[in-house]
Chain A
Amino acid sequence: MTTPHPSVAPPADSAGWLRTGHTRHEAAFRALCKLAIALPLCLLVVLGGSLVVEAWPRLGASFVTSYPSRFAESAGILPALVGTALLMGLTALFAIPLGVGAAVYLEEYAQKTRWSALLELNITTLAGVPSILYGLLGLELFVRVMDLGRSLVAGAATLALLLLPMLITVSREALRTVPRELREACFALGADRAATLRRVVLPMCMPGVLTGIILSLSRAIGETAPLITIGALGYVAFLPTSLGSAFTALPIQIFNWVSRPQAAFRANAAAAIVVLLVLMLLMNGVALWLRKRLQKRITG
């Protein structure tokens, strides 16, 4: 496409030929590339702007402290917000031990056997399973077989399974940053693996693991499809009283409002989206801050 094609023999005016660049092609291509990057980003900025404009009238204290309502103007997201907070807490409770534990097992314990190869393959496979299918698993396993009902705990368990592949991957990456020499130093001091892990490996990779956990949770906070499948409610006019309570969550509330034809509810959806995005940004911010702080503590 752009390769120069001079005749094989050197041109008569070789000095002049040397000076002719092919920069025009390259400049055009660079512009095209920049456009390709700018287009989606601009789209997002414009859409984000319209979103905020649409949401603005609804964003106020009462929006966060009210229950949903048939009247868009007085509806709020209190149950959704509380539901999301509880859901995330429970999900973290289930997912962190499993995810970090599996990562530690794979990095520190598993020898290269068929079993560990199977585990690897399995994690790759799980990462590619659409989230709605985790919802079907949760619906059968947690809601029906374990009879947890359409409850907070069933929702959290489902989200925890969904998070596992990502958590395992980020935790393994963090574990791999701990140099092998330090493990050897521990072993040479007569430590077993458990002590090596607790005293040296885990303290060292903690910033990475924590950051990974928070980033994973910030992904989970926006997950909608599996919660819909296990039957989170779109209209909840009460706060959850126990782990077995029916619940709603922010993304479910958003979906519920988006699905209504009235424009006033669209504005509510926009406002709820702004809240959700702010929560996500906060979590990301905390993750970055934590990583910086903990890293400083280690090297300082």
Chain B
Amino acid sequence: MTLDAAAWAALRLSLWVALWATLIAVPLALWIAWLLARKEFWGKTLLNALVHLPLVLPPVVTGYVLLTLFSPAAPLGAGLQAIGLTLAFKWTGAVLAAIVMGFPLMVRAMRLAVEAVDPKLEDAAATLGASRAGVFIRVTLPLITPGILAGAVLGFAKAMGEFGATITFVANIPGETQTLPIAIWTALQIPGGEGSAAAMALLSCTVALGAVLLSEMLARRVAARIGDRS
């Protein structure tokens, strides 16, 4: 049971991909969650279904859809490449796959948090002179911080573990797209690779456990700061 350089590279890549995916997805998921919780608009049901689609689709299919949309041959992929952003078979593509797969989990957690905030508190803040942005930053945001953290941790964990969509979309290129789960899978394909796979699996567990503990600690600290919600 040893960790070779390739394993460490896979871990670094996974962390890097998960970090970027979380950073990009959190504001976006928060916005979508707020829309779904608070606004009535045409196409709301469709948006909701679209957000949740990766949760029910086979990951391979999600990866295939991403490949179809973002390969340099597709208009969207070509357009992004023209502005210097290549996704297919790049670590950036792994980030996109992680975002798409983790998005439903993030939105669900954040939507619940937004729905738990009494709009009457926001009304009260408005009567005191706070603009819409002021109300959001000074009242809504602090009250939903635990939900945002929970969503972020779920999304991060999902990004760390994403396999199907990632390998379909960006393949298995060591140092570029070979994330930890893909590295474990690869090790298992090679005779005698079980030791390396077990070591990496243990590493994966450690990171996941650490993330959950960290989020618990943060949530507790936030809850203490926010106090009773009654």
Q: Do A and B bind each other?
A: no
Binding site for B on A (CB under 8 A): none
Binding site for A on B (CB under 8 A): none
